Structure 1
Amino acid sequence: MSEKATPTAIIYARVSSQEQSDGISVDSQIEQGVKMAEGLGAKVLHVFRDDGVSGRTDKRPAFQSAVAYCDAWDVDYFICWSTSRFARNKLDAASYKKILGQSRTKVVYVSINIDSDTDEGWFTESIFEIMDEHQSRQNSKDTRRSMMKNARDGFWNGGPTPYGYISVAAGERKRLQINEVEAAVVRSIYDAYLAGDGCKEIANMLNKQALSHKGKAWSKAQVMRTLKNQVYTGVILFNRKSVGGIENPESEWIVTPSHEKIISAETFSRVRDTFLKRTVSASLPTNPCSHRVFSGMLRCGLCGAGMRTETATGRNKTYNYYNCSTFIKTGGCKSRRIAADEFDEWMINVVLSRVLTIERMTDLLSELKSITGQAQKNFDLKYQALLLSKQKNAKDQNKIMSVIAEFGMEAPGVKSLLDKLSTLEKQQTSIASAIIDLDNSPVPRFDITKEHAQAALVTLTDIIKSTENNKKTRELMGTFIEAIDMNADSIDIRYRPERIIGTKKKNHEHVVHSSNLWGG
């Protein structure tokens, strides 16, 4: 945090469509955020809000603006309602907290008091983020299941209506109905492509015929999207892309018949095959240095230099390796070539099984219970104090009213009494407002068991193993792993146990023996 005469803060508030009913509106989050800033003695520079945007994605315009604003204006506090409002993806949360940390901006939550500067607070915050993602994933599964049933029943799940269809009301829901004029254009696009015309030629042909796409001229990209859109075969696709926007294998797609088709499945398949025949081979792979999970953490145990990535080309395939940077640059050390993909998978399993264990998750229970128990105690004390203040205020008002009732306007010091009565009335209004605010503010109550710790560990394991974004996995590992020494016959993982509840030692090395897989 920067050292300024008056600390500064920004407030970020978010609600997704799934959370509209949980009682915490964007306006309420902002209002409570302002009060938090006042308690911190900070000046609010700006308020950012995302309405109807999921926390499982980092494609949140206001959130991105808030992070950039903190970096540009040296903001001290990033205030939001809870860990789930900051992000419902653990890896995204870690990534953006690292960015904010470089700006010396501290993330604070209104609904729960977590000091992320302490090791216990850091780990507690991480567990809440894992649970947030676990809940979000469950919500996502429930939503997708509902949408699939809706599609199977012949209803449209919403969103922009595809060209070639119109959306018609069917009770409280909607169905897709063919627009015959536009459907004829869609069919002509497929026929022209199969006849040998390219996407640009087809777009030019449509524009010459004064046929628009929703009021706009056709483009090459729009024609291509039409040819690739399976909705025209009467189906809706689910699970085509992961949360991070990466396309899943076609075998994992869920195809649900939903509405009347414009073209046949056979025609669509022929177009897809034609696309593959016309497509030029993909460009060469990019530099693998930024795509390896443990890049920057590995060190050669023979010379102490860092391990870096290198590539080798085989028959129709490029292979990625870790190797000693000294050997790569000068040949002054022994070659330590290790298959990067295999090593990353193996080392992730090692970290999960020997460093991030159920024992350490279980040790977290006492910390969580202590935090939530203290929060409940503070809530009760504050509530009792407000009630006592309200009673005393009412008693003081009654005394003044009794004097005035007995002596009338001739009472001694009547002006002073009236001024004091006015002040007491204002105070009573303020106390009543504070009681209402306290009644409306949720108090964290958690009944966390070892089963919850196990579920958190399973979720964390699933997050790390299933993500396809190696950069974010590397950032998460880098928060507690200092270095991994690649010795001749063992691998030493040097990590920061103070970042993982369960041990008090500050300089702990976890030694994992290698196998012949890694060589010497």
Structure 2
Amino acid sequence: MTTCVIYARVSTVKQAEKELPVQSQIDKCKKHAVSLGADIKKVFTDEGISGTSDNRPAFQQAITYCENFDVDYFICWSTSRFARNALEAKLNKRRLANSNTKIAYVSQNIDEGDSGFIYEGILELFDEYYSRQVSQDTKRSMIANAQKGYFNGGFVTFGYQQEPVAGQKKKTRLIPNPLETGTVNRIFELKLASYGGKQIAELMNAEGRLNRGKKWNKTTILELLRNERVVGKVAFGKKGRNGSLPRSEWIVVDSHEPIVSTETFDAVQTMMDKQTNTAVREEGSAKSTRFFTGILKCGKCGQSMKIERAKGATKVYYYYNCGTKKAGLGCENRRINSAIFDPWMVDVICSEVLTERNLKDLLLQLNDLCGSWAKKKRERCTDLIQQIREMERRNSRLYEMLEDASGVYNLQDLAPRLRSNNEAIRKLNTELAIAETEKPPTLEITERDLSELSELLVDIIKTSSNPGKVREFFKTFLHSVEVQDDEIKVKYRPEALLSAHSGIVPSREEWLPLPDSNGGPAD
């Protein structure tokens, strides 16, 4: 028996009003399941959750269900409902593929061949691009809202309370809460007196100055001490594409009445920075922030290039080096500065895959796909009609047998067969009705768009927020990248690219910075 699960999602209530509500998505997915002849095992929904991340409870449950219960189809409305992040989509599709589960989109007719794979990938990239544009528009709106003194919503910081804005429906602003402002100032005074977070929490609890009925702890104290809202400001852009950003890069706007003076707040921040030793350093582990870990190979011995660290005067450097050499088993020292190599190699890969020639080939394939759609639809409808007529002929013979007075047949013998045939006819008619109302795939890309399309796709890949996911994406078509003496050899799956090129990429880059006077890496 063919089986399926259904997944539906909307990000916000407003989105549900403008686009397709969850229930409508589910209804259309159920009709699609009928056309596939699939029995629906379970329906999963996420409401009010963005598709830019795969951290969606129902979505993860749906993927896990497919992995454990041998499901044939994962049905959802469109590529954007599956995910708006292209790399997250690739990873989750690999999970489904490993479970032999196919993805079926209701609103998009995607071929299962090579052209369908590329077409689907472009749809995912544009879904991600659209999502980022929405995110930027939302951020601008929130900044403007805060500058006007309005509260954007969320948790109300200790020391404040919400107040409706006169004449502004649904608008509120933050004002100091007289029952809590004394506690806030007391906490900052204790910090300036060199008390630690745990000590301050114990003193506040002992004095009966509770955190809205709960006891303070070290974490809640430190969070309050770091919160710009106590000086009447709201911070945006605390995180970038590669993790948390330094405070100097945040967008901070004046929004409401302060409780703590700017001088006191800044003094506390300086003190906490020194105590936590927040000197300039690279965030995250070397393994999680390198694009080619596990892909880069030594051209001499064939072993993986491992990450090693080297401390400079003011920062830490990360290098790829031969794993055999690092283990003391021979080979050569082949240190490559990852900060130089990674962006260069990404540029090379993007330029080889996303060339205008490749995109022109893609455009031709997509045009062929759209052009052949009507023919495939006619063939499918003709086949369904033939199946319906065959079942009707079978029924006609059964009725003739019942009407034959000389026969020995009776209704009890023939009724089950009639019921089965009639059910088959009903299903075939339903499938035919759906097939006849399907709309052809739309293609709005012309040859004039090729250059802009190439730039857009490259930009989306290069600005993905998680280097580890970029690495997983590269692994879908790269076997390895080998470091030779004077060239880089890229081994890949030709069938994954539209045009196969030579796997040799000449390199004239100087990977290792000139050493400083002590023989270490220069800054």
Structure-2 separation of matches of 1:182 and 1:199 = 18
Residue identity in the other structure for 2:257: E
Mark the CA change 1:431 to 1:496 in structure 2 (over 3 Å): closer, same or farther. Answer: closer
TM-score norm. by structure 2 comes to: 0.80
Give yes or no for the alignment of 1:492 onto 2:489. yes
Q: Does structure 1 residue 20 correspond to structure 2 residue 16?
A: yes
Match of 1:483 in 2: 480
Counterpart of 1:7? 2
**Distance in structure 2 (CA, Å) of the matches to 1:344 and 1:297:** 12
Paired residue secondary structure (1:509): coil
- Distance in 1 (alpha carbons) for counterparts of 2:432 and 2:210: 59
Seen in structure 2, the aligned counterparts of structure 1 residues 240 and 313 have a Cα distance that, compared at 3 Å, is closer
CA distance in 1, matches of 2:79, 2:91: 14
1:273 and 1:65 mapped to 2: Cα distance? 45
Alignment match, 1:364: 362
**Cα distance in 2 between the residues matched to 1:433 and 1:347:** 49
1:217 alignment counterpart:
215
In structure 1, the partner of 2:99 is 103
Quickly say closer, same or farther: Cα 1:362–1:196, change in 2 above 3 A: same
Give the match's secondary structure for 1:180.
coil
Residue 463 (str. 1) matches residue 456 (str. 2): no
Q: How many angstroms does 1:10 deviate by? A: 1.8
Q: 1:453 to 1:132 in 2, by over 3 A?
A: farther
Report the Cα distance in structure 2 between the residues aligned to 1:495 and 1:433, rounded to whole angstroms.
Answer: 41
2:502 corresponds to: 509
- Residue 35 of structure 2 corresponds to residue 39 of structure 1: yes
How far apart are residue 516 of structure 1 and its match? Answer: 5.4
SS in 2 for 1:63: helix
Counterpart of 2:30, as a letter, is V
Q: Is the 8 Å Cα contact of residues 166 and 178 (structure 1) preserved in structure 2?
A: yes
Decide whether aligned partners of structure 1 residues 166 and 374 sit closer, same or farther in structure 2, where only a CA change above 3 A counts.
Answer: farther
Residue 265 (structure 2) aligns with: 268
- 1:130 paired residue number: 125
Q: What CA distance in whole angstroms lies between the structure 1 residues aligned with 2:223 and 2:452?
A: 41
CA distance in 2, matches of 1:484, 1:127: 25
The equivalent of 1:326 in structure 2 is 324
Query: Which deviations, in whole Å up to 9, do the C-alpha atoms of 1:117-147 show, x marking residues without a partner?
Result: x322111111001111111111112211211
Please, which runs of 5 or more residues in structure 2 have no aligned partner?
382-424, 513-523
User: Post-superposition shift, 1:360?
Assistant: 1.6
Specify whether residues 460 and 510 from structure 1 end up closer, same or farther in structure 2 by C-alpha distance, changes over 3 A only: same
Residue aligned with 2:180, SS: helix
Q: Distance in 2 between matches of 1:433 and 1:70?
A: 25
- Of 162, 168, 177 in structure 1, the residue corresponding to residue 163 of structure 2 is 168
How far apart in 2 are the matches of 1:447 and 1:312? 50
Residue identity in the other structure for 1:12: Y
Q: Deviations over 1:213-267 (max 9, x none)?
A: 23322222111111111011112111112367x2123333211211111112222
Partner of 1:305, secondary structure, is coil
Given that 1:111 and 1:443 are in contact with CA atoms closer than 8 Å, whether structure 2 keeps it comes out as: no
Which moves more between the two structures, 360-369 or 217-226?
A: 360-369
Helix, strand or coil for the counterpart of 2:120?
A: helix
Q: 1:496 to 1:214 in 2, by over 3 A?
A: same
- Deviation at 1:83? 0.9
Please name the residue that 2:225 is paired with.
Answer: 227
1:90 aligns with 2:63: no
CA distance 1:381–1:188, shift in 2 (3 Å): farther
TM-score (norm 1): 0.80
Q: CA deviation at 1:13?
A: 0.9
User: Unmatched 5+ residue regions in structure 1?
Assistant: 1-5, 384-426
Cα distance in 2 between the residues matched to 1:321 and 1:434: 60
Measure the CA separation in 1 of the matches of 2:164 and 2:305.
61
The answer to whether the Cα contact below 8 Å between 2:241 and 2:463 also exists between their aligned partners in 1 is: no
Cα distance in 2, alignment partners of residues 25 and 437 from structure 1? 23
Match for 2:306: what amino acid? Answer: R
Describe the shift of the 1:287–1:215 C-alpha distance in structure 2 as closer, same or farther (beyond 3 A): closer
Match of 1:159 in 2: 154
Distance 1:88 1:299 in 2: 32
2:251 pairs with 1:254: yes
Aligned twin of 1:72: 68
Measure, in 1, the Cα distance between the counterparts of 2:374 and 2:32.
Answer: 18
| Contact 1:10-1:45 at 8 Å conserved across structures | yes
**CA distance in structure 1 between the partners assigned to 2:307 and 2:219 by the alignment:** 37
The verdict on how the C-alpha distance between 1:433 and 1:294 changes in structure 2, with shifts beyond 3 A counting, is closer
- 1:34-433 equivalence runs, <5 A: 34-116=30-112, 118-170=113-165, 171-172=168-169, 173-242=171-240, 246-279=243-276, 288-315=286-313, 317-372=315-370
CA contact (8 A) 1:376 1:445 kept: no
Could you give the per-residue CA deviations for residues 363-390 of structure 1, whole angstroms, max 9, x where no partner exists?
A: 322333444556678889999xxxxxxx
Change (3 A) 1:455 1:219: farther
Q: 1:311 to 1:35 in 2, by over 3 A?
A: same
Q: Shift of residue 84 of structure 1?
A: 0.8
Letter in 2 for 1:206: M
C-alpha distance 469-331 of structure 1, shift in aligned 2 (>3 A):
same
SS in 1 for 2:17: coil
1:515 is matched by which residue type in structure 2? R
Secondary structure of 1:168's aligned partner: strand
Deviations 1:97-119 (A, max 9, x none): 22333333222211112245x32
Aligned mates of 1:63, 1:133 — CA distance in 2: 17
